[in-house]
Chains A and B, each alone.
Chain A
Amino acid sequence: MRIGLVCPYSLDVAGGVQNHVRDLAETLVAAGHGVSVLAPVSEGDDVAELPPYVVSAGRAVSVPYNGSVARVAFGPVAAARTRRWLRAGGFDVVHVHEPMAPSVALIALAASNAPVVATFHTATERSRAMAAAAGILRPALDKIVGRIAVSQLALQTVVQHLGGSAVIVPNGLFVERFAAQRAARFDDGGTPTIVFLGRFDEPRKGLPVLLAALGGVLAEYPGARLVVAGQGDVDAAAGRLSGPTRAAVSFVGALDDHERARLLADADVFVAPNLGGESFGIVLIEAMAAGAPVVASDIPAFTAVCEHGRLAAQFTNGDADDLTRAVLETLADPETPARADAATTAVWRYDWSTVTRQVTAVYDAVTAGSALDSLLADGPR
């Protein structure tokens, strides 16, 4: 099958949507499909470094949208490139991601003649601005044949914005990459390692809650360490810490998949104190795949992944004292390893082998429908 994927955000920036599109493209190529990915490209990017299946939709620009800044592509050049890509591709199905972002996914959706599948990733409130833009969005969004939401929350967004429904296919993960590191696990006796992953200077990632909770953990386990992995301003974050807490925290910067897997495999507790704005919670799934016991805030996206406490401990969102309690309980509980094992088994349903099969099933469904359409249109009258 010839599949055209459209990513609205610049691929060189790390992000849930970008990672998903890249990994999906690779698994589809591995399954023998013809795949082309249209995406914005950042200025000064070495085009040679992009995977061969990526086609540039033009220069990515930063634009304020819906309360944050998006790196997207639009304008006559991007529109012309999108149309050319659609014509040259001869796709059986066009799969756009995040079609409500102001970027090439929306342009491709409006311009495509092939059947379109759209994946909705984020859970966003229907803002006044989006209501005002409904006239522009509606005709394009009406062209979507197959709607996919990555989670229950993303599905609610689709229902709220568009009405109707969507099928849920979760974000994928190469579980094997993370699970392979589990053998490296060692017992360092009495000095637990706590791990945090994410852009730590983004308030909604909740690092301050974890730092506030750390004092209580250090009182029980004076040798405990907190490893913070991810992008952010280390000096600003470290500056807010006082003596003993400062000594217990180390910042290790951004890590790739394999480094993250190794760090998670060594973790005694992985803490996800996110305050909100998450639609899926891929970080939890990575940690579970690597075998790290998880403590997560009780935001809806995380509660769904944790299966209401069956796979991981949860604490009251934003409550540092409750986080201290959850971490101490997880460290002391003899059931913790068994729970982490159950989680590792459970996350296999997020493995790309499963997710890609579900996505191609959606492709089959929409192309079969459109084949029938053209048969009816061309048939004898």
Chain B
Amino acid sequence: MNWLAVLLLVVLLLGLATVVLSWTAGRHDRLHIRLATARASLHLQLSDRIAATMRVASSPALDPASALVLLAAAEEARSGNGTARHEEAESALSQTLRAVFGDLEEVRLLCAESDEPDRSALRDLAGTCERVRFAAHFHDQLCTRTVAMRRRLLVARLHLAGHAPWPIRFVFDDEPPQGLLTVASRPPSGAPEP
């Protein structure tokens, strides 16, 4: 009589453990998928930013020195993709964009000298800078959560994460150029300046 109760309890516990473990593994799986998506999104935004920088650099309103630093930084970031200096090159691009478009007055002057297609290229660039920042933030958050989860004893011991790669952070300077963002966020026509 007694052994039957024990057996039942064991079966129940085993069943419960299976449910919990497979549910945890499933959560893991989903987290890793989200992480992969976030990483792909970050890389997409980074290449968008490079493309937008190159387009702005070819605008005739820009002086040749500004165009030169922008092109050089964009090209470094592009060729750095997939190498050990990728993060460094993207940071350098952020610093260059701040050096060229950080000052509000300078960006206003530049916009005044530009025609509409050039201005729209500038707005596109502002948009990509913002999206890069958000994508970097979300990716970093997911990295933190995934690492925290994988460090849990049960997950680590029972190999619940399977063969999913350990999350790799992408650490870089993602601070956007404030001057450009301020000008770009202004309503397109007729509205008073902020």
Contact = CB atoms under 8 A, between A and B. Distances in A.
Interface residues of B, number: 27
A72 interface: yes
B128 to A, nearest CB: 19
B79 interface: yes
A102 B113 contact: no
Interface stretch (B15-23, B34-42, B67-75): B67-75
B64 A140 contact: yes
Nearest to A110: B64
Interface stretch (A56-64, A212-220, A228-236, A247-255): A56-64
A113 B63 CA distance: 16
A65 B67 CA distance: 12
Contacts of B68: 102, 106, 133, 136-137
Nearest to A130: B72
Contacts of A79: 63, 65
B155 interface: no
A110 B109 CA distance: 19
B92 interface: yes
Contacts of B99: 61-63
Nearest to B71: A133
B66 A74 contact: yes
Contacts of B58: 135
A72 to B, nearest CB: 7
Interface string B52-84: 000001100001111111011111100100000
B75 A63 contact: no
B106 interface: yes
A136 B57 contact: yes
B121 interface: no
A44 interface: no
Given A63-B96, A76-B106, A136-B57, A107 B72 contact: no
Given A63-B95, A64-B92, A102-B65, A76 B71 contact: no
A110 B63 CA distance: 9
B31 interface: no
B7 to A, nearest CB: 70
B99 to A, nearest CB: 4
| Interchain residue pairs A-B with the least CB separation, the first 7 | A74-B65, A129-B72, A79-B63, A76-B109, A132-B75, A102-B69, A102-B68
Interface of B: 57-58, 63-69, 71-76, 79, 92, 95-96, 99-100, 103, 105-106, 109-110, 113
Given A128-B75, A129-B76, 8 more contacts: A62-B99, A63-B69, A63-B95, A63-B100, A76-B113, A106-B64, A106-B65, A132-B74
Interface of A: 61-66, 72-80, 101-104, 106-107, 110, 127-130, 132-133, 135-137, 140
